[in-house]
Each structure stands twice: as C-alpha cells, then as structure tokens.
Amino acid sequence: MFNFKTILAITVLLLLYSNSYSNGVGVVNASTGIYLKLTATDIQVSVEMQVSITRTTQYFHNNLGADKTVAYAFPLPDGASATELRWKLNGVWHIAPISPSPQDTSLPGGTMNQNLRNYLGAKPLFFSIPDTVVRDSLLVVELTFVQLLKYDFGDVFYNYPNDYRLIQNQTIESQEFEFTLSSQRTIDSIRLVSSNPLISITNNGNLATIISNQYTAIPSVNYKVKYSLNLNQLGLFSYSTRIPDNLLPDSLGGFFLFIAEPNPGTTADIIKKVFTLVLDRSGSMSGTKIVQAKNAATYIVNNLNPQDKFNIVDFETNVYSFRNRHVAYSMQTRDSALAYIQNIQTGNLTNISGAFSTAVPHFNTANDSTANIIVFLTDGLPTVGITERTALLNHVRTLIQSTETNIFLFSFGIGTDVDQQLLTLMSSQNNGFAEFLLNDEIESRITNFYRRIKNPVLLSPSVTFSSPDINNVFPNPLPNLYIGQQMIVSGRYTVAGMLNVTLSGRAFNQPVTYNYNFTRIDTPDVRYQFLTKIWAKQKIENLLVVYYSLNPNSPEAIALRQQIIALSVAYGVISPFTSFGPPTNSPSQEELVGQDLNFPGDFKLLGNYPNPFNPTTTIKFIVKNDLSGVAVIRIYNILGVEIDRLTIDLNGSGIYSVLWNADKFSSGAYFYSVDLGGEVMFSKMLLLK
C-alpha cells in the first residue's frame, strides 16, 4: 500500500469545544522538572473558514552543561490531529515517520511531576528525540496539527495559550504569532482579544490576517482570536480536490467536504424537548467542581423552553431524582428544581450504572416527536454497581433500546481521571458525542453547550446524493444538527461535475429536507489538500467506534485494528494505534518480508511517500543483493534540470529510505533518479504547497 501524507488535517469528531494547548517541552527529567530552556517560539496558523492548521515551532537550548537525552512533549488538544513532526539538530532537519505502534509514553526521569502533568493535560503527544542533544546546542522542533475551531452562531474562536510559567518562568528571545484566515462566508470582523502586542490586522471580507510579535518577555499571555462570519450567509459550503489515482493508496476517487448550516427559519424555538440532566455528586466532585456543576444545572433549568419536560438525576453510591418522571416546565417546577439543585451535596462512590437505571426509564412515555436528550456529567471512573466498561456500555444501551425511542446522550468528562473511551463510546452509540473539560471549565462549557442544543434543526439526519459515484461518506451516522451549529461531512467521488445533496430529518415535529448543489472538480486544488486527512480521520473514528465495541482479541477487532493502522500510516493521521517514530536511513530487513524479490537488476524503486507532499517526502528503494557503497539520488525540475542531490550509504540488502525537503522549491511536478553504481531508475513526484 502506498503511504500518502500531506501536512494538513482536521479533527473530525463534531466537538463543539477543545481544550487548551501550548508550547512543547524538551523533557530531560520528568520527575525532577529538568527541561531544555525554551528560547523562542513561532506559531503559524492557517484557517479555512473553521478548519485551523497550526504549525508551531519551538527552539530549545541545552544550557545544562552536558549532553542530554531529550523527549519532546506537547499538550495536544482534544479533537486535534497531529500530522507532522520534524526536528533540527546541528543544522539538519529530520522528519518523524508514522509508526504502526502506539506511542511510547515513558519519559526521561520516570514519572511526571505535578506541574508537568497539569501542563500537558489529558492527551499529550510524546516523541523521543533519537539523537543526543549536545551541550550548548540548539534543538528545534516543529509540530503540525489541525482541528475544527469552536463555532457559535457565526462567531469562531482560536485559542493558543502561551503561558509557559509552569515549565519556565523566564524571558525568551521571541514570541511570534501569525494568523491567516480565508473564508467563503464574509468575515464580518476579526480581532485579537488577548493583550498580546498587535503588530497588524487586515480584513478584506474573505481574507484576514493578524500578526502579533513580542521579544525578550516571559511567555505568559495566551493568544486569543475571535472572528465573526456573516449570519445571513447560511447554507452549504463545499470543497473538493482530485488527486491522480496513481498517487493515492486506494482507488476510491477524489475527496470532498461540505459544511452545512441550514437556515432553520423562525420556528426553531418551539421544538419540544424531553430533557434529563444526570449529575455526578460523588466525593471527588467536592469543592469548585460541584459548585460549577450546580451553576451549570441552574442555567439549564432557567433556560428550558415553555413546552419542554425535564428531570434531574444526581448520584454517588446512592441515586437521587428531582422527580420520579419528567415534569412539564413551568414557573413552579422551575423554582422547585432550582431549590433541589442548591441542596445537592457531594457523597461517596460513583454509581454510573445506577444513575442510568434511574434516568433512562423516565423516557418510556416519550416518543420521537420530541428531542429526547440526556446530558451526563462525571469526573471519575465507575466504582460501584457495574464497573467493567463493556458491561456498562451494554447496560446503558439495553436501557435506551427498551424505551423504543431515540435518545441523544451527551457526556462531559471532567479532569484527567475519567474513562474517555467509556464516555466516547457511550455517547457515540446513542446518537451523541463526548467532550472533556478541565476542572475550571464546567460552568462555561456546559452552559454554552446547552445554549446550542436547546433548539434542534435536524434530528436523525440522513444525506443522499444525486450521483451514485459517491462513496465512503463520514460520519456515519450523521450527528443531529442544532441551531447556530454546523454539520461537517466528507467523502469520496469518482466522477467530477455538479452534485445535488439532500439533507433529510425531522424538526418542529415534521419531516424537513434541505437541498444544495456543489461541484466536484477533476484536478488537484492546492488549497484543499487537507481534505485527504479530513476524510481519513473521519473514517478512522468511524472504525474505532466499532472496534471498541468488540473483544480486542476477536478476529473482527484484530482486522479492524490493522485497517485503522493502514489508514493512519497511508494518510498520515495519528491514531490510538500509531505514533511518530524515529527515521531510518539503514536497511530494513523486516520490510523485506512479503516483498517480491524476483526483479531484474540489483534494486527496485518503491516510490516516494507521501506523494503529493508538502514540503517533505521519503524516497524508498529495495536492494536485493549484498551491496555496499553510496547510492546517489538526484532531483530534477520539470525541465530536466538537476536541482538537488542526496546520498545514502549502502550496507547490504534491505529497504532504504532518504528524506527530501522541498522547502525552498515551488509547487509542481519533479523527477528523481536513484543511481546504484551505474544502474539508474527514475520516478515522478508532486509537490503541493
């Protein structure tokens, strides 16, 4: 299978928010808190409507008086996908290929100290620098990742917390931040809402930029950007690109993505909801967390619609309920519920199964003419009742199925001790999604979330296309669509041309249909090469939902795991089963297994991966005989002029690889030759910037 990798990607889970992220750390001793000194940081952000691509570069100085082994650690935000990692030592750039194995979470010095643990958050990325960082030398690390930015009724928010004081409370030479936004919808406004020094800001309606630089200062102020897209321009916004089939790892065709935000009309505020808040009040929720949770519950109760029905279930070892059924929302039930919330106190263990055994049967009298919603809030693992993950998932699913109605379950995990896999599966298996919060984010995140879901636009949606050539469409099934929010859908196509898209579902107790058109192009569009990763990420997430519902040792699960690994490696999207690995210029004997060595001559080209690429690609070839010496790789432009030359030492049979960095070259087609002592082979590659 070909490996296909570009720099751009997106997180494809429909998360409405994401956690903070910041500069990486050069860890020398995780336990005692010894790190390389951060001397400069450069953040380059490119945004297409709401898809952000962040390339963050950190410069570290080894001022510790001795050569050091270093691990790079980065607090990757929820929902973001790391797509490329490079580092530079002694003036030479290296690229980390994606390895078909989970990341190694061990760090020099052993267990992380509390400051480092708090800084890195719940989902850090780790990468061990393969080479020793010698004393007084400079290590440069560049990480690229993408995510879907928080969108709220036309407002979009980008947040790069630049506060590094938990790691290093010293001045650094420079902090440079450049933000570029392109949008099909009109950009009504854009501003830097943080107090970082503003160098320049521009906005012509479809293209906007912000530059903020600071020198010789402590990195202590977060970069925060807010921009607003025109609310009168609702509908469907589409993107497509067609990569030649011989440059793809499959034959499924071109790539498309559309962002849909239908105009709900003026009646969206009258849809009826049947709503239950399931609130964890176990002992670990004491202090600030329970105060914020109660404030969030108060906000929800104060903002229900007049025709809604609701209930509150709170739990620790025991399970409690505001009422033994859903009650109609009125001033009287509202005031009673508010008093009930204020009297909630934290207790003992975490009885999640008991909470759902109480909450779900209340929906037995509901039907599919209403939006039936459970919001589940917890900060810990189940410690009483059903505690095994698969058994608990089956328990919740069986309870919901017994109601014979659609229930939409949204889970919120607080802090770092929750079972993220449990909450993700529990929600995805029941028409919802999970989000993960910091301890101090509960009130703001829950209240903002409820403001979005209180008015559904399209329930149980489906999508159809006017052409039969559309395939591999994700997510599957589609998530519900709520007022002020958007639906992100990607897929593949084999035929270019105009396409009609029909979104169908229910709203306002009636069937609803929205029809749109977009054009699938038949050529590569350099602006939208990230679509390959959007699609791959969404497919991986779809496969993961199925994988986690199986016994991991079953043949079905093993086959799915291998499929996920193959997609991850081929498309350059990190998954739970893959990681950034060290590069290799030595022959790989393991890769020879399964290779057809019945070819003429001493060697055979295996191509370059990724292809297309930006700006680096790895050229591979296989040597079947016991050769030694130097192989010469020459790079030519479209006119046949040699523009670069690489060499690699041969050390017997095996598979060899060499990295070409095309940073200084422009987009276009290039050729390369591999010369082994007079035997020469040629191939073609495509650079898309």
The answer on 348 and 295 residing in a single domain is: yes
Would strands 155-160 and 150-152 be described as parallel, antiparallel, or unpaired? antiparallel
Among candidate residues 423, 454, 485, the one where a domain is terminated: 454
In this predicted structure, what is the pLDDT of residue 267?
Answer: 46
The answer on 415 and 286 residing in a single domain is: yes
Cα-based torsion angle of the residue sequence 262, 265, 269, 272 in order, rounded to the nearest 10 degrees: -70
Q: 376: closest CA among 402, 339, 414? A: 414
DSSP strands (E only) in 322-400: 327-328, 371-378
Cβ atoms of 344 and 322 within 8 Å: the answer is no
CA distance 309 to 273: 6
For residue 351, pLDDT over 90 is answered with yes
| Per-residue pLDDT reduced to its tens digit, 238-283 | 999 998 776 777 888 999 999 988 876 654 445 678 999 999 999 9
Residue 13: inside a domain, yes or no?
no
Count of domains for the chain: 3
For the ranges 270-279, 317-326, 547-556, 616-625, the maximum mean pLDDT occurs at 317-326
CA distance 371 to 506: 10
Q: How many residues does the chain have?
A: 689
Among candidate residues 433, 454, 475, the one where a domain is terminated: 454
pTM of the shown model: 0.70
Would strands 309-315 and 273-280 be described as parallel, antiparallel, or unpaired? parallel
Q: What is the DSSP string of 302-319?
A: HT--TT-EEEEEEESSSE
Q: What is the DSSP string of 538-590?
A: HHHHHHHHHHHTS-TTSHHHHHHHHHHHHHHHHHT---TT-EE-----S-BSG
121: confidence class by pLDDT, cuts 50, 70, 90: confident
Residue 669: inside a domain, yes or no?
yes
| Per-residue pLDDT reduced to its tens digit, 637-685 | 877 778 888 888 787 778 888 888 888 888 888 889 888 877 788 888 8
> Average pLDDT, whole number, for the chain?
85
The answer on 390 and 250 residing in a single domain is: no
What the block records as the tokens of 9 is 């990607």
In this predicted structure, what is the pLDDT of residue 622?
Answer: 86
The answer on 466 and 446 residing in a single domain is: no
Residue 513: inside a domain, yes or no?
yes
Residue 92: inside a domain, yes or no?
no
The answer on 468 and 447 residing in a single domain is: no
SS3 content of the chain, % helix, strand, coil (to 5): 20, 40, 40
Sheet containing 616-623: give its strands across.
603-609, 616-623, 654-661
The answer on 247 and 312 residing in a single domain is: no
Q: Which residues neighbour 553 within 8 Å (Cβ) at sequence distance 6 or greater? A: none
Helices (H) and strands (E) in the chain, counts: 9, 40
The answer on 462 and 426 residing in a single domain is: no
Among candidate residues 430, 454, 478, the one where a domain is terminated: 454
- Neighbouring CB atoms inside 10 A of 330's CB total 11
Q: Which residues pair with 378 in a beta bridge?
A: 413
In this predicted structure, what is the pLDDT of residue 265?
Answer: 64
Residue 81: inside a domain, yes or no?
no
What angle is formed at CA 378 by the lines to CA 11 and CA 481, rounded to 5 degrees? Answer: 45
Q: Where are the alpha helices (DSSP H) in 403-554?
A: 420-428, 442-453, 531-548
CATH code: domain of residue 352: 3.40.50.410
CATH code: domain of residue 533: 2.60.40
CA distance 614 to 689: 6
Secondary structure of 125-180 in HEC code, one letter for each residue:
EEEECCCCECCCCEEEEEEEEEEECEEECCEEEEEECCCCCCCCCCCEEEEEEEEE
In this predicted structure, what is the pLDDT of residue 606?
Answer: 83
Q: Which residues neighbour 176 within 8 Å (Cβ) at sequence distance 6 or greater? A: 40, 41, 42, 43, 212, 213
Residue 662: inside a domain, yes or no?
yes
CA distance 353 to 357: 6
Residue 12 — φ and ψ, nearest 5°?
A: -110, -10
The answer on 365 and 446 residing in a single domain is: yes
For residue 171, pLDDT over 90 is answered with yes
For residue 102, pLDDT over 70 is answered with yes
CATH code: domain of residue 597: 2.60.40.1930
Quote the domain boundaries for residue 639.
590-687
Q: What is the DSSP string of 248-280?
A: SSSSS-EEEEEEEE---TT-GGG--EEEEEEEE
The answer on 441 and 395 residing in a single domain is: yes
Q: 643: closest CA among 652, 634, 653? A: 634
Residue 202: inside a domain, yes or no?
no
Cβ atoms of 116 and 167 within 8 Å: the answer is yes
The answer on 356 and 446 residing in a single domain is: yes
Residue 345: inside a domain, yes or no?
yes
According to DSSP, residue 123 is labeled S
Cβ atoms of 622 and 607 within 8 Å: the answer is no
| Per-residue pLDDT reduced to its tens digit, 601-638 | 778 888 888 888 888 888 888 887 777 778 889 898 87
According to DSSP, residue 332 is labeled H
The answer on 334 and 417 residing in a single domain is: yes
Where does residue 293 rank: exposed (0-12), middle (13-18), buried (19+ CB within 10 A)?
Answer: buried
**Mean pLDDT of the region 407-416:** 85
The answer on 351 and 302 residing in a single domain is: yes
